């Protein structure tokens, strides 16, 4: 079992390379974020041993419990927060994460600005767009994205690196990826965090620079997550 993750990683990297080439894009233009939420250090270590250094988690507490120990054992780890962020966890989030993919409201922008200034360094910031306008999902609505990005830049002096989206589970993802790319382009944003285990090839075809792949590397998770 412990080698399954490493084997799956190699296969996913092959598929990413193939999709990147098929899209006529440069090999280094797509990065794999291995989403390790719910998996423990024992399952993550083989994937680190296989050379992967970029990982994603969706909860601040879980990441804080798991990653400091792994960072002591492995050099060069980069950790991205891909789940929602509460304002009261911003400070902690900045202490563990190198990037935040879920910036989606002014209150969070204000808190991030405050804590980034205190810390003297900024994580890579992605604005999450709720392309399917799903009420249960985080993210700014597509029609509000331009104004929110402007507000982040002008009111809060935040440097926004890109956009992130999670298409509705029951819809074809491609239109959502295309919409996200369009919003990014008209706002001068170069990074696109989109594509998961089931659809990263389509996301790469539509311009993803960061694909977030969990279960295809680590195996299936308990249903509740």
Using CB under 6 A, list all residues that contact ligand PLP: 35, 37, 58, 82-83, 166, 196-198, 212-216
Angle, vertex CA 53, rays to CA 52 and CA 55, nearest 5: 100
Nearest to ligand PLP of 147, 225 (CB atom): 225
Nearer to ligand PLP, 130 or 156 (CB): 130
Give the nearest distance from C-beta 123 to ligand PLP in angstroms: 16
What DSSP character marks residue 164? E
Nearer to ligand PLP, 137 or 182 (CB): 137
Least gap, CB of 208 to ligand PLP (angstroms) = 12
Name the residue nearer to ligand PLP (CB basis): 34 or 183: 34
Residues 6+ positions from 190 with CB-CB distance below 8 Å: 161, 162, 184, 209
The H or E element containing residue 210 is: strand 210-213
C-alpha distance across the termini of the chain, in Å: 21
Give whichever of 60 and 196 is closer to ligand PLP, judged by the CB atom.
196
88 DSSP 8-state letter: G
CB of 72 vs ligand PLP, minimal distance in Å = 25
H-type helices in the chain, by residue range?
Answer: 4-22, 41-49, 60-73, 90-96, 106-119, 145-154, 174-186, 200-205, 215-218
Residue 62 tokens, joined:
């879980």
Alpha-carbon distance 72 to 182, whole Å?
Answer: 40
Find the residue with minimal CB distance to ligand PLP. 214
Least Cβ distance, residue 41 to ligand PLP (angstroms)? 18
Minimum separation from the CB atom of position 117 to ligand PLP (A) = 27
Instruction: Output the smallest distance, CB 122 to ligand PLP, in A.
Output: 21
Shortest CA distance to 219 belongs to which of 51, 17, 9, 19?
Answer: 9
Nearer to ligand PLP, 102 or 156 (CB): 102
């Amino acid at each position: 079992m412990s080698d399954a993750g490493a084997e799956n990683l190699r296969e996913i990297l092959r598929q990413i390379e193939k999709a990147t080439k098929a899209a006529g894009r440069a090999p280094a233009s797509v990065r794999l974020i291995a989403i390790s939420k719910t998996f423990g250090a024992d399952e993550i270590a083989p994937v680190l041993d296989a050379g992967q250094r970029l990982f994603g988690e969706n909860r601040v507490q879980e990441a804080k419990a798991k990653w400091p120990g792994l960072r002591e054992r492995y050099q060069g780890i980069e950790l991205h927060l891909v789940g929602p962020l509460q304002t009261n966890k911003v400070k902690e989030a900045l202490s563990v994460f190198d990037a935040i993919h879920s910036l989606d409201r002014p209150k969070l922008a204000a808190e991030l600005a405050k804590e980034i200034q205190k810390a003297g360094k900024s994580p890579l910031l992605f604005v999450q767009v709720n392309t399917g306008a799903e009420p249960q999902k985080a993210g700014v609505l597509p029609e509000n994205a331009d104004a929110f990005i402007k507000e982040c830049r002008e009111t809060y002096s935040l440097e926004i690196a890109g956009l992130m989206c999670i298409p509705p589970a029951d819809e074809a993802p491609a239109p959502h990826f295309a919409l996200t790319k369009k919003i990014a382009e008209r706002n001068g944003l170069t990074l696109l965090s989109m594509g998961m285990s089931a659809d990263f090839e389509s996301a790469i075809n539509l311009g993803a620079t960061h694909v977030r792949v969990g279960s295809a590397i680590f195996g299936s998770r308990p249903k509740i997550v």
